[in-house]
């Protein structure tokens, strides 16, 4: 604890309280994944939950805009000259979020396809690596090829996942900025 001041714990709790509308949905999503892990759900289900995380963040952003449309946020309404402009912008933002949700859903489908391809490449690599090799034989290029494609699929999965998370986190941050 600092002399004459507050500790980092107090500052951290104060920041969490100040941004409670962000903490609650993020904590809920993390708790959902932790429950799946500790209840020993199949790794496939946990992976599916992780791949759907960006879509769930978009749905949270949409729920905040629906709250703004219903008049729950006074600061949102104060940003516009009148109530009808605020409502029109909220409807357009909800429609935009819907379109982004469609894009993220396409990204999620690509992620599943890429994961399937990665799984097949890894299985083929393991089968090829387990085969006996003659002492003076030239190593097969097939093993290196499977490793190469596995790395390509991993990089593509990372790009798709980061893109979808960037879209969802950026949208959520923008919506939270609007309503605060």
| Rounded Cα gap, residues 99 and 154, in angstroms | 27
The pLDDT of residue 75 is: 84
Amino acid 20: pLDDT: 66
| Alpha-carbon span 168 to 56, nearest angstrom | 9
Q: What is the pLDDT along the chain (180 residues), one digit of tens a residue?
A: 455 557 888 887 877 777 666 677 777 777 887 888 888 877 777 777 777 888 888 998 998 899 888 888 788 888 889 989 989 999 999 999 999 999 999 998 998 898 888 888 888 888 888 888 777 777 678 888 888 988 999 999 999 988 998 899 889 889 988 887
| Structure confidence at residue 36 (pLDDT) | 80
What are the backbone dihedrals phi and psi of residue 68, each rounded to the nearest 5 degrees, phi first?
Answer: -65, -35
Q: Where do the H-state alpha helices sit in 52-140?
A: 53-69, 74-78, 83-130
| Dmax (CA) of the chain | 82
pLDDT of residue 132: 80
**118 contacts 153 by C-beta, under 8 angstroms:** yes
pLDDT score for 171: 92
For residue 156, count other CB atoms closer than 10 A to its CB. 16
Note the Cα 49 to chain centre separation in Å.
9
- How far from the centroid of its chain's Cα atoms is residue 101's Cα? 12
Q: Give every CB contact of residue 52 below 8 A, 6+ residues apart in sequence.
A: 108
The HSE-up count of residue 28 (CA atoms within 13 Å, CB side) is 9
Rounded-to-integer distance, Cα 52 and Cα 122, Å: 24
Closest CA to 21 of 54, 77, 67: 67
**What per-residue confidence (pLDDT) applies to 1?**
46
């Amino acid at each position: 604890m600092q002399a004459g001041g507050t500790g980092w714990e107090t500052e951290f709790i104060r920041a969490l309280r100040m941004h409670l509308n962000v903490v609650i949905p993020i904590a809920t999503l993390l708790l959902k994944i932790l429950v799946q892990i500790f209840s020993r759900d199949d790794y496939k289900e946990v992976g599916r939950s992780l791949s759907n995380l960006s879509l769930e963040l978009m749905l949270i952003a949409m729920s905040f805009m629906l709250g703004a449309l219903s008049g729950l946020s006074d600061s949102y309404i104060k940003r516009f000259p009148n109530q009808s402009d605020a409502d029109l912008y909220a409807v357009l933002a909800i429609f935009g979020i819907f379109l982004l949700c469609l894009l993220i859903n396409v990204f999620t489908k690509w992620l599943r396809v890429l994961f399937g391809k990665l799984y097949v490449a890894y299985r083929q690599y393991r089968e090829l690596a387990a085969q006996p090799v003659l002492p003076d034989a030239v190593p097969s290029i097939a093993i290196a090829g499977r490793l190469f494609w596995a790395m390509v699929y991993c990089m593509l999965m990372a790009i798709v996942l980061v893109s979808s998370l960037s879209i969802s986190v950026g949208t959520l941050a923008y919506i939270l900025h609007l309503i605060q």
